[in-house]
Amino acid sequence: MTHSFAVTTVVGNPKRLSRTLTTAEALAAAVAGPGAGTASFDLAELYRDGIEPPHGGFEHALDRIRAAQVLVVGTPVYKAAYTGLLKLFLDQLPPAALEGTVAVPVTIAASAEHRHLADLQLRPVLAELGASLPVPSLALREDELPELDAHLAKWTGAHLPALAAAARAAEGAAA
């Protein structure tokens, strides 16, 4: 199946240039397909100088989210949930900002016991913003990251067809 989607990535790891960012961008590339436009926002960079981001930076991220068919949302699991940095950004989005957008969480946990916790808390938040969440999240442990390619291949094999169909349907519904 060939496909090409506009994919935007937002990552809420307080450490800039994190492995969460790398992982989320790798998933975004696999989802976008060849030749597709992607944009990626490292919130540790966006909020570096204060919790009110420079107006231009936030507006740019919001524009790219609105233009995206698929939004990849990356976070490490901190204190049994998604990070505050990610939520800080989501809190500033307008109501229903993600209507017509298909979202895919990417979460990285330090231990098996925390694998599902960010995902459990994040999905209701993204749903509140209007996002459609048609497929399971990519929820990895840190010690699985050296085999990221294999995990990505497994995830895309299982879920990319449904994700692509949902992205097309969302577009059709919004048109």
Closest CA to 70 of 174, 1, 170: 170
Phi, psi of 74 (to 5 degrees): -105, 140
Of 60 and 141, the one with the shorter C-beta distance to a second copy is: 141
> What is the C-alpha to C-alpha distance for residues 117 and 115, in angstroms, rounded to an integer?
6
Of 29 and 120, the one with the shorter C-beta distance to a second copy is: 120
Of 21 and 90, the one with the shorter C-beta distance to a second copy is: 90
Of 124 and 146, the one with the shorter C-beta distance to a second copy is: 124
> What is the C-alpha to C-alpha distance for residues 92 and 53, in angstroms, rounded to an integer?
10
Say if residues 71 and 86 touch (Cβ distance below 8 Å): no
User: Residue 104 CB, nearest distance to a second copy (Å)?
Assistant: 12
Say if residues 37 and 70 touch (Cβ distance below 8 Å): no
User: Residue 87 CB, nearest distance to a second copy (Å)?
Assistant: 3
Closest CA to 12 of 63, 64, 85, 67: 85
Interface with a second copy (CB under 8 A): 14, 44, 47-51, 78-91, 93, 111-117, 120-121, 123-125, 127-129, 132-136, 158, 161-162, 164-166, 168-170, 172-173
CA atoms within 13 A on the CB side of 26: 19
Of 23 and 53, the one with the shorter C-beta distance to a second copy is: 53
User: Residue 113 CB, nearest distance to a second copy (Å)?
Assistant: 5
User: Residue 99 CB, nearest distance to a second copy (Å)?
Assistant: 9
User: Residue 73 CB, nearest distance to a second copy (Å)?
Assistant: 13
